[in-house]
């Protein structure tokens, strides 16, 4: 399989200059190992899912690190939790030395907790998702994300209009709707074979349930959890009514909450919290959720063609989920710090699909599937901008031009993110 340059590689290189170790986390088959090897091709690689590597390291940690004090890649580090605790002492013995270790981890809620407990301040953390649109085109991260490198201001409206170029579909063979349908898992997407795509997705989902989930939660009812994940495929982009999901599975709401946390922490699903800092007191506090990969979402919903996707009642929500994930992956590759993501909805139905808040300020984003967005559709966004005294907001849709829709809202085509 041809290697695709990832947006996160420069960030990982930079973090290795600041920290003794970097850990790359994400769902299985998203390219964690390949990315680690690409960042440091000359380093020694150990796969902790391989019995001989596991035994060689765990048999005598002192001996191993005496012989291998630096330039090591530990793949699937969640298989050996003791490794993280041992690394603390190794790093502290020569705290000033940077660029020593890369770890990868997948499908384990415990690994980040262990990193926080054992290696806080000693390790940089990078989350890798499936392939982003620009990566599939072998193009750099879009210019849109440069606005997050400093405080947002009204002047960025002119910057966005002048600096962002809308891709020409005829010259790039770029098809947003195809990307929405197929998602971004590298192997099935690059194969460009529908039969292989479906077989790969079936095997991937079976492995996720029967290996990863069973290993992490051995007492879990895997049949009900499988049904739960399938139900989520019709709920991506919506607020999750735990009571309704509980009734359909004949379980209680506490179990639904636990299932949501499991799906989120194993990088299949993303929980998006409510923006509770808003000045309006009627804000709903129920979380929203999205599938992290639209291809897996469509596979589980039995949507296999462009026509099926466009005719389903959930196409707007699935498009919203796809765009949110694209945007989050873009910010993860930026220099922005202390940032997080939210959505906003009031009891009166006012809604903003996505809100970024960080060192750059606050940016509200509305996502529309259509080619044109009317001023009436911007009512909630414009009101949010005014109430929170923000410089501007963004609408992302399937349009073909960048333009101001009003004095405080700019339209950005989805192909530009």
For residue 4, tell me if it sits in a domain: no
Decide if 320 is inside a domain. yes
- Asked whether residue 1 is domain-assigned, the answer is no
Q: How far apart are CA 283 and CA 387, in angstroms?
A: 13
**Which of 73, 99, 128 delimits the end of a domain?**
128
The answer to whether residue 2 sits within a structural domain is: no
Same domain, residue pair 36 and 139? no
Tally of structural domains, the chain: 2
Do 252 and 199 share a structural domain? Answer: yes
Q: What is the DSSP string of 383-404?
A: HHHHHTT-S-EEEEES-S--EE
Give me the pLDDT at residue 281, please: 67
Claim to verify: residue 239 and residue 336 sit in the same structural domain: yes
pTM over 0.85: yes
Task: Specify whether 195 is located in the same domain as 302.
Answer: yes
Q: Do 77 and 161 reside in the same domain of the chain?
A: no
Of 366, 392, 362, the closest CA to residue 377 belongs to 366
Is residue 275 situated within a structural domain? yes
What is the layout of strands, in order, in the sheet containing 409-413? Answer: 340-345, 351-358, 361-367, 393-397, 409-413, 403-406
| Residue where a domain stops, chosen among 128, 152, 185 | 128
| 186 lies in some domain | yes
119 and 200 in one domain?
A: no
Clarify whether residues 154 and 68 are in a common domain.
no
Residue 195, C-beta contacts closer than 8 angstroms, at least 6 positions apart: none
Residues 143 and 105 in one domain: no
Task: Please check whether residue 182 is in contact with residue 197, taking contact to mean a CB–CB distance below 8 angstroms.
Answer: yes
Same domain (yes/no): 66, 180: no
- The SS3 assignment for 409 reads strand
Domain harbouring 124, CATH code: 3.40.50.300
pLDDT of residue 216: 87
- pLDDT per residue, tens digit, the chain (417 aa), is 578 999 999 999 999 999 999 999 999 999 999 999 999 999 999 999 999 999 999 999 999 999 999 999 999 999 999 999 999 999 999 999 999 999 999 877 778 888 888 898 999 999 999 999 999 999 999 999 999 999 999 888 888 888 888 877 654 556 899 999 999 999 999 999 999 999 999 999 999 999 889 988 999 999 999 999 999 999 999 999 999 999 999 999 999 999 999 999 999 999 999 998 866 668 888 889 999 999 999 999 999 999 999 999 999 999 999 999 999 999 999 988 899 999 999 988 899 999 999 999 999 999 999 999 999 999 999 999 999 999 999 999 999 999 999 999 999 999 999
Identify the pLDDT of residue 3: 80
391 lies in a domain?
yes
**Looking at the structure, do residues 87 and 218 belong to the same domain, yes or no?**
no
Indicate whether 3 belongs to any domain.
no
Look up the domain containing 114 and give its range. Answer: 9-128
User: What pLDDT does 278 receive?
Assistant: 67
Based on the fold, state whether residues 153 and 270 are members of the same structural domain.
yes
Structural domain ending residue among the three candidates 93, 112, 128: 128
- Please tell me whether residues 245 and 278 are part of one structural domain: yes
């Amino acid at each position: 399989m041809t290697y695709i340059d990832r947006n996160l590689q420069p960030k990982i290189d930079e973090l290795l200059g600041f920290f003794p170790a970097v850990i790359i986390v994400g769902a299985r088959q998203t390219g964690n190992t390949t990315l680690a090897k690409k960042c440091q091709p000359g380093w020694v690689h150990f796969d902790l899912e391989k019995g001989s590597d596991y035994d060689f390291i765990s048999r005598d940690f002192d001996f191993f690190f005496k012989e291998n004090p630096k330039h090591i890649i530990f793949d699937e580090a969640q298989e050996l939790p003791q490794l993280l605790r041992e690394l603390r002492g190794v790093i502290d013995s020569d705290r000033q030395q940077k660029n020593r270790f890369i770890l990868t981890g997948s499908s384990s809620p415990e690994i980040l907790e262990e990193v926080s407990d054992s290696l806080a301040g000693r390790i940089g953390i990078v989350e890798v998702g499936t392939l982003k649109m620009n990566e599939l085109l072998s193009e750099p991260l879009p210019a849109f994300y440069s606005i997050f490198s400093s405080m947002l201001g009204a002047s960025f409206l002119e910057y966005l209009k002048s600096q962002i170029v809308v891709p020409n579909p005829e010259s790039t063979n770029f098809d947003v709707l195809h990307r929405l349908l197929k998602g971004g898992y590298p192997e099935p997407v690059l194969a460009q074979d529908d039969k292989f795509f479906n077989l790969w997705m079936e095997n991937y989902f079976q492995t996720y349930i029967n290996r990863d989930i069973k290993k992490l939660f051995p007492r879990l009812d895997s049949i009900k959890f499988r049904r739960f994940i399938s139900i989520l495929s019709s709920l991506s982009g919506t607020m999750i009514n735990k009571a309704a999901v509980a009734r359909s599975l004949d379980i209680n709401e506490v179990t639904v909450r636990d299932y949501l946390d499991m799906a989120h922490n194993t990088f299949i699903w993303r929980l998006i919290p409510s923006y509770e800092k808003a000045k309006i007191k009627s804000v709903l506090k129920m979380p929203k959720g999205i599938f992290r990969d639209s291809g897996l979402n469509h596979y589980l919903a039995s949507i296999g063609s462009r026509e099926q996707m466009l005719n389903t009642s959930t196409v707007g929500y699935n498009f919203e989920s796809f765009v949110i994930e694209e945007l989050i992956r873009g910010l993860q590759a930026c220099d922005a710090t202390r940032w997080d993501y939210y959505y906003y909805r009031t009891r009166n139905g006012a809604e903003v699909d996505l809100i970024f808040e960080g060192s750059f300020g606050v940016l509200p984003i509305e996502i529309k599937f259509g080619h044109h967005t009317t001023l009436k559709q911007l009512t909630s966004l414009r009101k949010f901008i005014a109430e929170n005294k923000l410089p501007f907001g963004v609408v992302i849709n399937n349009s073909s031009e960048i333009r101001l829709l009003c004095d405080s809202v700019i339209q950005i085509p989805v192909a530009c993110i």
